[in-house]
Chains A and B, each alone.
Chain A
Amino acid sequence: MPPVDPTSVEQVADGLRSVGYLPGESTALVSYLATKLGKPVLVEGPAGVGKTELAKALSRFLGRELVRLQCYEGLDEAKALYEWNYRKQLLRIQAEASGTGWDAVQEDIFGEEFLLARPLMTAIASPEPVVLLIDEIDKTDQEFEAMLLELLSDFQISIPELGRVEARTQPVVLLTSNNSRELTEALKRRCLYLWLDYPDVEHELQIVRLHTPELSETIARKLVGIVQEVRELDLKKPPSIAESIDWARALLLLGAEDLDARTFRETMSVIVKHRTDLDTVAARVGVRLSEGAPDGAASRG
């Protein structure tokens, strides 16, 4: 796909829609600003509202490669930035004639040839512009965040042996966070901020319909209504958008003609995934649905 350089907010909104992502009010605007201003975007919101999906959609729409860095506790520079390929260096030293002096060998083995590029380095050094996704930044510790600052504001990385590596192209950077930890002010200051929340009924209905166009509108509407209701309950893990889509697919596979109490009981484990949550949902939502025909409205094979 040829790279796209959007010139208006509408173009971004349409583009995202064309690759299967329905952006909310501010999503398209902030994405557009990100491509124009070259600022990283910090995307926050509850789990499962499509934060990671946004990065993927952006990369598809912009025709850029997606470079993803999944964060976790204990992630360090060697895994995120670069590492010296130490085995290759050893081999090189062994292959050198024993007469070569240290200076010559040193110059030799600290070259780009021996550098293992990790996601951040890949994103910076890529000759084509990329979309860089730094996923779940809140899982890392503050030291890692501090290390990111140089990268995010100047798009460059300092390697002691080689000097500075500067970005050849401007990547679009997205950082996602589930808000499990307060991020530092310094990081926030460098980013545009986008808060993604659960969509409203109409928006979610559109999303579900986009992913399962074969499902009848009435079932889809009922399904979205139930999911929204379930989210209101006090659950350990409220259902995400991805799970409503999964549920819609499951209903489609089962050939359900209506979403009645029985179908709901049998399939609700798609959206509710905790033992205690299951009980709560069954007691609060399940009982209000109409009981299906005795032989079951859903034909199961």
Chain B
Amino acid sequence: MARPRAAEPSSLDARLISFTEELRGEGVAIGTSELLDAFAALAEVPWDVRADFKEALAATLAKSPEDRRVFELVFDRFFFRAAEAEAVVQGVQEGEGFDDAASIDVDALREAIAQAMQDGSEGAMRDLARLAIAAFGERGEGSGVIGVDVQRIRRSLGLRAEPQPDYPEGDPRREGVPREQLRRFEQQLRRELERGQIERTRQLPPARPLSELDRSLPGGPIQDLAAVHRVVAQLKRRLATQGKELRGRRRHAHVDVRRTMRASLQTGGVPVELRYRPLRPRRPELFVLCDVSTSVTSASVFFLSVLHALHDSFRKLRSFVFIERISEVTDVFERERDFRRASEAISRDAGVADISGYTDYGRVWTEFLTEVEDDLHPRATVIVLGDARTNGRPPRDDVFAAIAAKAGRTFWLNPEPRLYWNYGDSVIAAYERHCTAFECWTANQLEDFVKALAGPHGATPGR
């Protein structure tokens, strides 16, 4: 390395290295060569311009949109903590709130904040966040838990992403605040609250690792149909290339005896040249069962659209939707190429909700088994999408086991984070004994699933 003065712990080199360590800890792959590039890049830009400094690091360290997002989060967290740690060491205090906090006009503040969010000015938002904290701290509403306080302040400011028609004409809140701006404002609030806490306690709280929710790009695939289509387009391409890889690995699997004998006629019956059976790309028969009850609505739209977009990649795909009863919707999807219209048709005529509208897994398994028992065979794959929340009804995992035994492979996609599995009325553990369960609420997790689906038969993917 060009600079041998890394001995003092607070030097920039050491700081940067610990910054990249932190990035690596969050799953961004950074090689030594990239670290060297980062140093080389920093030698070319002025350090006192925050944007340039950050962009120079980002260009050399974060090499995909996902990495870039993690980079932004870690950059903010790291340098915020570094600055605060330094402030604690040096004993610098910014002062708690404002002297005349009681005199802040809360209504004017609300409008100013909403306006700043529409204009998207970062500096104004930060100042207003401090004002808001001061105003609400004055009213004695602080709970001490930062996450709770952020939401309380947001609510009392009347900031929501959805349109709120009760506000008068011209109020920026009437149309709803842009979601991304709202997120940024919450971030500012959180940071200012943290700063206050650090100043009070004079020490840094432990670093919080990024959660999947932080990581997912704003407007994740589950909310955004356009994003789903992008994911699907990518998955299709991957499925197409994956077939090739398989063929490469298992090229010499089966000798075609008949064709080998035929070819051996040319050499007087000696099988000089072996003929192989061509390896066909895997096209399993799929049975898809999808919970469409209200608890999983957004996820089921997402999955049904994905599976239907993948229609061409599979030999045969039969789709079922269920709530209390089961109903086959394969022909609906074949008739309706437009997904939105298809999902409308399903909710209109499928007739899956009986009385209560709560999922009844036991009944669904029994009905499914009677309907398709004869069609199930070891080359068939059954995919269930649902949260495995039985609403207190018997899970009937014995029937599910019978289905899994008849089918070659059984997958379960659970749109809930693994953290919530088996809490409350979730009985996924009972089903997981008979199938491979995936947690599936980000595009990446969906890809893992598709890999397993397109992978070799019988091999259980490692978890």
Asked if A21 CB lies within 8 Å of chain B CBs, one says: no
Contacts A25-B51, A181-B237, A189-B31 hold; do A33 and B63 have CB atoms under 8 A apart? no
Asked if B225 CB lies within 8 Å of chain A CBs, one says: yes
A216 to B150, CA, bound (A): 44
Contacts A29-B52, A39-B37, A235-B226 hold; do A194 and B59 have CB atoms under 8 A apart? yes
Contacts A185-B29, A191-B63, A193-B62 hold; do A29 and B55 have CB atoms under 8 A apart? yes
Quick check: B37 and A192 within 8 Å, CB to CB?
yes
Asked if A26 CB lies within 8 Å of chain B CBs, one says: yes
Quick check: B226 and A30 within 8 Å, CB to CB?
no
Asked if A19 CB lies within 8 Å of chain B CBs, one says: no
Quick check: B55 and A234 within 8 Å, CB to CB?
no
Asked if A155 CB lies within 8 Å of chain B CBs, one says: no
Smallest Cβ-Cβ distance to B40: which chain A residue = A37
Q: How many residues of B contact A (CB 8 A)?
A: 28
Name the B residues within 8 Å of A41 (CB-CB): 59
Quick check: B37 and A233 within 8 Å, CB to CB?
no
Asked if B344 CB lies within 8 Å of chain A CBs, one says: no
Contacts A185-B29, A189-B31, A233-B226 hold; do A29 and B45 have CB atoms under 8 A apart? yes
Name the B residues within 8 Å of A192 (CB-CB): 37, 41, 59-60
Asked if B385 CB lies within 8 Å of chain A CBs, one says: no
User: B287: shortest Cβ distance to chain A, in Å?
Assistant: 28
Within 8 A of B (CB), among A29-58: 29-30, 32-33, 36-37, 39, 41-42, 44
Name the B residues within 8 Å of A188 (CB-CB): 63-64
Asked if A148 CB lies within 8 Å of chain B CBs, one says: no
User: A152: shortest Cβ distance to chain B, in Å?
Assistant: 12
Asked if B33 CB lies within 8 Å of chain A CBs, one says: yes
Asked if A180 CB lies within 8 Å of chain B CBs, one says: yes
Asked if A195 CB lies within 8 Å of chain B CBs, one says: yes
Asked if B56 CB lies within 8 Å of chain A CBs, one says: yes
Quick check: A189 and B58 within 8 Å, CB to CB?
no
Quick check: B55 and A193 within 8 Å, CB to CB?
no
Asked if B65 CB lies within 8 Å of chain A CBs, one says: yes
Asked if B34 CB lies within 8 Å of chain A CBs, one says: yes
Out of B58, B60, B226, B234, name the residue touching A234 (CB < 8 Å).
Answer: B226
User: A178: shortest Cβ distance to chain B, in Å?
Assistant: 11
Quick check: B68 and A33 within 8 Å, CB to CB?
no
Within 8 A of A (CB), among B144-174: none
Contacts A37-B41, A37-B44 hold; do A234 and B225 have CB atoms under 8 A apart? yes
A181 to B244, CA, bound (A): 15
A191 to B237, CA, bound (A): 25
User: B219: shortest Cβ distance to chain A, in Å?
Assistant: 10
Q: What's the A-B contact tally at a CB cutoff of 8 Å? A: 65
Asked if A9 CB lies within 8 Å of chain B CBs, one says: yes
Name the A residues within 8 Å of B34 (CB-CB): 189
Name the B residues within 8 Å of A33 (CB-CB): 41, 44-45, 56, 59-60
A195 to B62, CA, bound (A): 10
Quick check: B59 and A36 within 8 Å, CB to CB?
no
Within 8 A of A (CB), among B206-259: 225-226, 229, 233-234, 237
A62 to B45, CA, bound (A): 19
Quick check: B229 and A234 within 8 Å, CB to CB?
yes
Contacts A26-B58, A189-B33, A193-B62 hold; do A36 and B44 have CB atoms under 8 A apart? yes
Name the B residues within 8 Å of A44 (CB-CB): 64-65
Name the B residues within 8 Å of A32 (CB-CB): 44-45
A26 to B68, CA, bound (A): 13
A180 to B65, CA, bound (A): 13
Name the A residues within 8 Å of B226 (CB-CB): 233-235
Name the B residues within 8 Å of A189 (CB-CB): 31, 33-34, 63
Quick check: B31 and A195 within 8 Å, CB to CB?
no
Name the B residues within 8 Å of A25 (CB-CB): 51, 55
Name the A residues within 8 Å of B65 (CB-CB): 44, 195
Name the B residues within 8 Å of A233 (CB-CB): 226
User: A234: shortest Cβ distance to chain B, in Å?
Assistant: 4
User: A190: shortest Cβ distance to chain B, in Å?
Assistant: 8
Within 8 A of A (CB), among B412-457: none
Name the A residues within 8 Å of B29 (CB-CB): 185
User: B246: shortest Cβ distance to chain A, in Å?
Assistant: 16
Q: Per-residue 0/1 for A112-131: is the Cβ within 8 Å of any B Cβ (1 yes, 0 no)?
A: 00000000000000000000
Smallest Cβ-Cβ distance to A34: which chain B residue = B59
Quick check: A193 and B56 within 8 Å, CB to CB?
no
Name the A residues within 8 Å of B31 (CB-CB): 189
Residue numbers of B with Cβ under 8 A of A are 29, 31, 33-34, 37, 40-41, 44-45, 51-52, 55-56, 58-60, 62-65, 68, 225-226, 229, 233-234, 237, 338
Residue numbers of A with Cβ under 8 A of B are 9, 25-26, 29-30, 32-33, 36-37, 39, 41-42, 44, 180-181, 185, 188-195, 233-235, 276
Taking A37-B37, A193-B64 as given, write out 9 further A-B residue pairs in contact, using a Cβ cutoff of 8 Å, ordered by the A residue number: A29-B52, A30-B55, A30-B59, A33-B45, A39-B37, A193-B58, A193-B60, A193-B62, A276-B338
Q: Which 6 A-B pairs have the closest CB atoms?
A: A234-B226, A193-B63, A26-B55, A188-B63, A192-B59, A36-B44
26 contacts between A and B (CB under 8 A): A9-B45, A26-B55, A29-B55, A29-B56, A30-B55, A32-B44, A32-B45, A33-B56, A33-B59, A41-B59, A42-B63, A44-B65, A180-B234, A188-B63, A188-B64, A189-B31, A189-B33, A190-B33, A192-B41, A193-B63, A193-B64, A193-B68, A194-B59, A195-B65, A234-B226, A234-B229
